[in-house]
Each structure stands twice: as C-alpha cells, then as structure tokens.
Amino acid sequence: MLRGLYTAAAGLITQQRRHDTVTQNIANLNTPGYKQETAVQRSFPEMLVAMTGGYADNPNRTVGRLNTGVFAEESLSPYVQGPLKQSGQTTDFALVSDIIVNDPATGQPVRFDPSGKYVDANGQVTYKPEAFFTVRDETGNVRYTRDGHFKLDGLGTLRTSTGSEVLDAVGNPITLTGAVKDLKVNGQGELLNGDHMPTGITLGISIIDQPYQLVREGDGNFRLDTQSGATARRLQAGDNVELKQGYLEGSNVDATQSMVDMMAAQRAYESNQRVVQFYDASLDKAVNQVGRV
C-alpha cells in the first residue's frame, strides 16, 4: 500500500514541475530571444517482482514487472527560430540562422526535424548548430544569448538589456564614440561608419555546434557545458547566418500548446491527489478500525 502512496507522490512532484515549466514559458511570451523549456518525464526503473514463498516445487516464481512511478528528469529547450519583430531601434538586432550540415555518409544536406535534431540510419544523432551573440557578464564570464535588445551606456559601451557587455569577434567589448543614430551594422555583423564603410569591428557571433548542451543561467544567457563536449566557434564565411538591425527575435513559445500542457498537468496533478487521498483513507481505516478488533 505504501508503494502506491509513493508512486502517487512522485506523480504529484512531476506534474508540479511540469506546471512550473509551462508557467515560466507563458511568463516569457514577450521576452526577446527566449527559448521555451520542455519538461521531460520518465519512469523510474521497473522492478522484477518474484514470490518468496509458495510451493517449493514451483520453478517459476516470477510475478511480473512493477513500475514505481515517474519523475521529471530534465528540461530541454528547442532552439528553433523565433518570429522576427521590427522595432526600428538601431541598437536592436536579430539573428536569422539556418546553418546547413552535410551528412558524412551521403554528402547531402541533413534534414532536421522541427526540434533541430537528425537521426541517421545508424542511430547517430546530429543537432542543428545555432548562432548566438557573445556577451560577458558582470563576473567576467563569456556567455551566449539570442536576446539582441542592446543599449549604449554613458561611455558608449554596447550592453545587453541586463547589463552584460556585448563582445566583438575577437572578444573585446564594443565601445562606440558616435551617437546612437550612427550605429550601422551590415548583415555580416560588421560595424559601419558614416560613409557605410566597415570600421574593422564585428559583432561577436558564435556558432554552437551542440546547442542542447548549453546551460541556461537566466537573464537570457547560456553557458557552455565543457564536460559534455559542447564547443563554440566564430562565425565563418559560408555560414547561413544573417544579422538584421532594427529587429528583435521573439520568443519561440507556442502559447496555445502551453495552455494545453498546463491544463493537462493540472488534471494529472488532481488525479494523483485523489489517489493519495484514497490511500490516506485506507490507512486510516486499517489503523483505527481494523487494528482495533
């Protein structure tokens, strides 16, 4: 009986975390560059149940397999392109990324699924590389973001909306000497002067080959998980990445699907709650009524 109570309690915790994840997505519907999270639910390892008593001449003592509930193992973020919104601000930037990867076996471009994943005939998984702005937070650590809602501080340093320094292609902070209206950037991220000529400064755009290995840190920033083998490289000629000035990439959260997921999590939570109440009533009867006899 207690095993069933533990299973229902595990379901309660899992649905609560699922509900919290969906709530976070809905709260960031209007956050530029936000990538939604999806809670991955998995079952605990099954147990093989066997008889400990019974007839001694019975060679088959196996009863069957027993599932002990589910748990929220992790949260994954599909790094698909969000919709572009024109803001008209010269300090707003959006990345349009569609990097092509060739299959080593066939030499043909890989066709990724809507989540940015491709599985070949041998079961080898390939993730679609994605482009990110390179920034440096207040502690001096390099981070990556898709939030291109930048601003200029009093010293002319280009910063993110949360105060991180925007880095150039060689890892230095970008500091401008002109007014905001003089900030011009072409599609490759090169800063232009008043004559629309390159100034030699390029926005730091990094390509993450394994975006699913990024660790979310908050404020729209991600960091590399070096232990997982994730790597970042500079934008190269031939990468199908375009920088659009005066635009912002919107959140890729599906509002309709998020509401459906929230209602499903609520209904599943209520079901597990009723199971806990049933076990509580059964234990109460076993202790206070049956045990009294």
Q: Which pair of tokens denotes residue 206?
A: 């990094």
For the segment 228-244, the average pLDDT, to the nearest whole number, is 83
Question: To the nearest whole percent, how much of the chain has pLDDT over 70?
Answer: 88
126 plus 98 within the same structural domain: yes
Q: What confidence tier does 160 reach under pLDDT thresholds 50, 70, 90?
A: very high
117 plus 242 within the same structural domain: yes
Domain that holds residue 172: 87-249
**Helix (H/G/I), strand (E/B), else coil: 78:** coil
Query: Would you state the pLDDT for residue 48?
Result: 64
238 plus 264 within the same structural domain: no
Query: Would you state the pLDDT for residue 11?
Result: 86
115 plus 239 within the same structural domain: yes
DSSP category for residue 31: S
217 plus 176 within the same structural domain: yes
Please tell me the total count of domains within the chain. 2
> Does the pLDDT at position 197 exceed 60?
yes
pTM across the whole model: 0.79
148 plus 238 within the same structural domain: yes
Q: What confidence tier does 179 reach under pLDDT thresholds 50, 70, 90?
A: very low
Task: Please state, in angstroms and rounded to a whole number, the distance separating the CA atoms of residues 268 and 174.
Answer: 50
> Does the pLDDT at position 56 exceed 90?
no
141 plus 224 within the same structural domain: yes
259 plus 286 within the same structural domain: yes
Q: What confidence tier does 127 reach under pLDDT thresholds 50, 70, 90?
A: confident
pLDDT digit string, tens, across residues 75-88: 778 888 899 999 98
Task: Please state, in angstroms and rounded to a whole number, the distance separating the CA atoms of residues 205 and 239.
Answer: 11
Residue 162: other Cβ atoms inside 10 A? 15
7 plus 47 within the same structural domain: yes
Torsion of CA 176, 179, 181, 183, to 10 degrees: -10
95 plus 129 within the same structural domain: yes
**CA-derived radius of gyration, the chain:** 26
pLDDT digit string, tens, across residues 262-283: 999 999 989 988 988 888 888 8
152 plus 140 within the same structural domain: yes
Task: Please state, in angstroms and rounded to a whole number, the distance separating the CA atoms of residues 142 and 58.
Answer: 65
105 plus 49 within the same structural domain: no
Task: Please state, in angstroms and rounded to a whole number, the distance separating the CA atoms of residues 102 and 100.
Answer: 7
Residue 283: other Cβ atoms inside 10 A? 13
For the segment 76-104, the average pLDDT, to the nearest whole number, is 87
